[in-house]
Amino acid sequence: MMGRSIATRVSQAGLGVVVRDLTRERTDKVAELLAGDLDREIERWGLTQSEKKAILARVEFTTELSKTAGCDLLIETINEDFEAKKQLLVELDAVLEPEIPIIINTSTLSISELAQGLQHPERVLGMHFLYPVTTTRVVEVVKGQVTCDDAFETARRFVRILGKVPIQEFESPGFVTTRVIMPLINEAAHVVMEGVASAGDVDLAIKLGYDFRYGPLEWADRIGLHRILNWLEHLFRETGETKFRPCPIIRKLVRAGHTGARVGKGFFTYDSERSRLDRLPDDSPKLS
């Protein structure tokens, strides 16, 4: 999903994109889902039919890694799987010209560790696109221990071309956004588990109290509770801080398959368009 969203945003910015996946079936599926994403954006008035056509025209799908050789910049978007990412990096390092930056899309993994042993580790850096990629304005750009300034500056310029704000960071578990938001989500889940307030009330309190677009639990549902669990476990492992120890209620929901908006159920319930169904009466827009 992340790779698809990034490809959409890059094409929307007027740049050509090569999307590479392992099999033809997978690239076909990505193409179909990408067109579906654009259709949903048209329904939300965010795009026009002709813009959709132009976006699709700039995206090329392939299964061949060698097709990426002509690109000016490469972004890998495998889910947070260290070994799989490492394997791909080794292959890319051999295919791409040494000056082409390789960007690892991650919110938790170590850039320096992933770059270790490559022929050109200095061109590797991290980028953390936040959900939803097409509308979120910020991208974390993360410098590893040996990342060179040229690659880093190219990446920052690229983020600006996408119409987003690059936040310059040094490598640290969870970077900024994940590290700060995870304890909030985890604590909200603890409050629910302790019976202090219902999930709906916890979210409403934080949403209205601090002028958030969504409460932390709905936000977690929209990101996917399996991802939240994965991130928390990783941060807990890396830092040893108990604030990152996953709240049991999150684990329970994930084990039950209630991973959030995409499957229709998490802390809250959602329809097929991922609109929340169980909003409290006070959770409606007011102009005064």
Partner 1 sequence: MKVLVLNCGSSSVKFQVIETSLAMIEANADITLARGAVEKIGLSDSRLTLDVPGCKPYREIAEILEHRAAVERVLKVLVNPDHGVLATVSEIEAVGHRMVHGGEKFASSVLVNPEVEAMIEECVVLAPLHNPHNLRGLTAARSLLPGVPHIAVFDTAFHQSMPPKAFVYGLPYELYTRHAIRRYGFHGTSHRYVSIRTANLLGRPIEELKIVTCHLGNGCSMAAVDRGHSADTSMGFTPLEGLLMGTRCGDLDAAIVPWVLAMEEVTLAQLNAMLNKHSGLYGISGVSSDMREIEAACATGNQRARLALDIFCYRIRKYVGAYAAAMGGLDAVTFTGGIGENSPLVRGAALTGMEFLGIELAEDANRDATHGEEVLVSRPGARVAVAVIPTNEERVIARDTVRVLGGVMPSFAVAGNEAPR
CB of residue 119 to partner 1, shortest distance in Å: 28
**Cβ-proximal residues to 78 (8 Å cutoff; 6+ apart), any chain:** 84, 85, 88
16, 36, 117, 248: which one binds partner 1 (CB under 8 A): 16
CB of residue 135 to partner 1, shortest distance in Å: 5
**Which of these segments, 8-16, 116-124, 175-183, 218-226, binds partner 1 (CB under 8 A)?**
8-16
CB of residue 138 to partner 1, shortest distance in Å: 14
Regarding 39 and contact with partner 1 (CB under 8 A), the answer is no
Strands (E), the chain: 17-20, 59-62, 74-76, 102-105, 124-129, 138-143, 165-170
CB of residue 27 to partner 1, shortest distance in Å: 21
H helices of 44-101, where?
49-57, 82-95
79, 135, 168, 269: which one binds partner 1 (CB under 8 A): 135
Closer CB to partner 1, 1 or 15, in the complex: 15
24, 44, 160, 252: which one binds partner 1 (CB under 8 A): 44
Tell me the three state secondary structure of residue 103.
strand
CA distances from 213 to 138, 186, 219 (A): 15, 18, 9
Q: Total number of residues binding partner 1 (CB under 8 A)?
A: 15
Regarding 58 and contact with partner 1 (CB under 8 A), the answer is yes
Closer CB to partner 1, 16 or 248, in the complex: 16
Regarding 211 and contact with partner 1 (CB under 8 A), the answer is no
The Cα–Cα gap between 80 and 103 comes to: 14
- Dihedrals phi, psi of 104, to nearest 5 degrees: -95, 125
Q: How far is CA 77 from the centre of its chain?
A: 9
Report residue 68 as tokens. 């990426």
2, 6, 10, 47: which one binds partner 1 (CB under 8 A): 47
Regarding 14 and contact with partner 1 (CB under 8 A), the answer is yes
Regarding 53 and contact with partner 1 (CB under 8 A), the answer is no
Indicate the residue type of 79.
N
What is the pattern of x (binds partner 1, CB under 8 A) and - over residues 268-287? -----------------xxx
Q: How far is CA 262 from the centre of its chain?
A: 14
CB of residue 14 to partner 1, shortest distance in Å: 6
- Dihedrals phi, psi of 139, to nearest 5 degrees: -135, 130
Binding residues (CB under 8 A) for partner 1: these are 14-16, 41, 44-48, 51, 58, 135, 285-287
